[in-house]
């Protein structure tokens, strides 16, 4: 299948590309910097500038849209918030606008979104049927999904992936959470009672492949593991896997001082249930947190941790 991907150079996209190439798909990645990627095997890299990508879009049977300014880099100044929102809304609008002006349409648009869509939810379980919440991220996700949804009027199947906290090697949330643990300074963030709806990166890719190959999958899909945990449990499991204590809590007020409004994402959470995936019989590779963390951190541990903590890991 010919697949056009935006954000294919990122933490999720680069792994997605590896797996799709291995599965025999023909990939074209839209990037802001195609020159930096010359020579990478199996994928054609095209710039958003120019018209070449529009031809690629016309030939694509599927479009996967992951592009967006990183959410957790730096304080949310007004300018950064505008970049976070506009990069997503604008890229999606451009893609769907070009689909509208072409006779040939892809069969499916798989568009990233996030569980931030639901806003802070406390103890309550949320599924795809729940309405959007309040706050900057919820508003951004709602606008992002609305742009993607317009493709449905063109006869394109639209899948909106509401991604949880993605765990994987060298990147994502773990790249920020692991270093304090390695230095014996790890512990739960905020009260520790907020819910963390996590997912292993291999399952993100697995669910994208599942959505590609199952024409009955459409609409919102929570991309989270079936067992969300509290922040306290998450950090205790992370400590166990790394052979380190989880003892030094980071108080919410300190995070607010350090990160400003962005701290809200860490001190509140969502208890998300992946109804669409379980109903559609997606088979999770990592349904449980400890195995997911062990897999995500295997290469990191081998490089950074001394032998005794790796022994703790292999004892599980
Ligand atoms: N990782 C997670 O835990 C997580 C959780 C929830 C939602 N998501 C969403 O899933 C998507 C992929 O996540 P990721 O972790 O792979 O993100 P990532 O590593 O930050 O990659 C995002 C990609 O978007 C492009 N990009 C970055 N800034 C941009 C801008 N200002 N304008 C246009 N394009 C820009 C970049 O591609 P080029 O440099 O090649 O243009 C980059 O490779 C993101 O939209 C993210 O919000 C991720």
Please name the residue ranges forming H helices in the chain: 11-22, 52-59, 78-100, 136-149, 172-182, 201-213, 231-242, 252-259, 263-267, 275-279, 289-304, 307-315
- 271 C-alpha to center of ligand 1: Å? 23
Pocket of ligand 1 (CB under 6 A): 7, 9-13, 31-33, 66-71, 83, 87, 91, 112, 114, 163, 165-166, 172-173
Residue bearing the CA closest to ligand 1, atom 28: 69
Phi, psi of 78 (to 5 degrees): -60, -40
- 112 C-alpha to center of ligand 1: Å? 9
pLDDT in tens, 158-179: 999 999 999 999 899 999 999 9
- 72 C-alpha to center of ligand 1: Å? 11
Q: What is the pLDDT of residue 311?
A: 42
End-to-end CA distance of the chain: 40
- 310 C-alpha to center of ligand 1: Å? 31
Task: Give the CA diameter of the chain.
Answer: 61
Residues of the chain with confidence (pLDDT) below 70 = 38-39, 301-316
Nearest Cα to Cα of residue 187 among 231, 229, 242:
231
Instruction: Give the number of the atom of ligand 1 that is nearest the alpha carbon of residue 32.
Output: 41
Instruction: Give the number of the atom of ligand 1 that is nearest the alpha carbon of residue 166.
Output: 3
pTM for this structure? 0.95
Q: What is the pLDDT of residue 314?
A: 42
Q: What is the pLDDT of residue 302?
A: 63
Instruction: Give the number of the atom of ligand 1 that is nearest the alpha carbon of residue 13.
Output: 16
Mutate to test the pocket of ligand 1, among 46, 67, 201 (most ligand atoms within 8 A of CB): 67
- 141 C-alpha to center of ligand 1: Å? 13
> Which CATH superfamily groups domain 2-167+198-225+273-287?
NAD(P)-binding Rossmann-like Domain (3.40.50.720)
Distance CA 187, CA 167 (A): 18
Distance CA 45, CA 119 (A): 35
């Amino acid at each position: 299948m010919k697949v056009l991907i935006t954000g294919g150079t990122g933490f999720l996209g680069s792994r997605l590309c590896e797996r799709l190439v291995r599965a025999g798909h023909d990939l074209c990645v839209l990037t802001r910097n195609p020159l930096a990627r010359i020579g990478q095997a199996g994928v054609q890299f095209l710039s958003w500038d120019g018209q070449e990508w529009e031809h690629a879009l016309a030939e694509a049977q599927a479009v996967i849209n992951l592009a967006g300014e990183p959410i957790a880099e730096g304080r949310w100044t007004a300018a950064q918030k505008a970049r976070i929102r506009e990069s997503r809304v604008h890229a999606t609008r451009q893609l769907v606008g070009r689909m509208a002006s072409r006779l040939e349409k892809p069969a499916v648009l798989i568009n990233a979104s996030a569980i931030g869509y639901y806003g802070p939810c406390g103890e309550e379980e949320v599924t795809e049927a729940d309405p959007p919440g309040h706050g900057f991220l919820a508003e951004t996700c709602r606008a992002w999904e609305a742009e993607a949804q317009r493709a449905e009027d063109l006869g394109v199947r639209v899948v909106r992936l509401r991604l949880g906290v993605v765990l994987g090697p060298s990147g994502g949330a773990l790249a920020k959470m692991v270093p304090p643990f390695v230095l014996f300074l790890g512990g739960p963030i905020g009260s520790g009672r907020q819910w963390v709806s996590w997912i292993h990166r291999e399952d993100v890719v697995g669910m994208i492949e599942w959505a590609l190959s199952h024409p009955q999958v459409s609409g919102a899909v929570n991309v989270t593991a079936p067992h969300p945990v509290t922040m306290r449990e998450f950090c205790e499991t992370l400590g166990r896997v790394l052979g380190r204590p989880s003892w030094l809590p980071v108080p919410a007020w300190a995070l607010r001082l350090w990160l400003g409004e962005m701290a809200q994402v860490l001190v509140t959470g969502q208890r998300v249930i992946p109804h669409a995936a379980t109903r559609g019989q997606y088979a999770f590779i990592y349904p449980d947190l400890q195995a997911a963390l062990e897999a995500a951190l295997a290469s990191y541990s081998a490089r950074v941790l001394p032998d005794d903590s790796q022994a703790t890991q292999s004892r599980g």
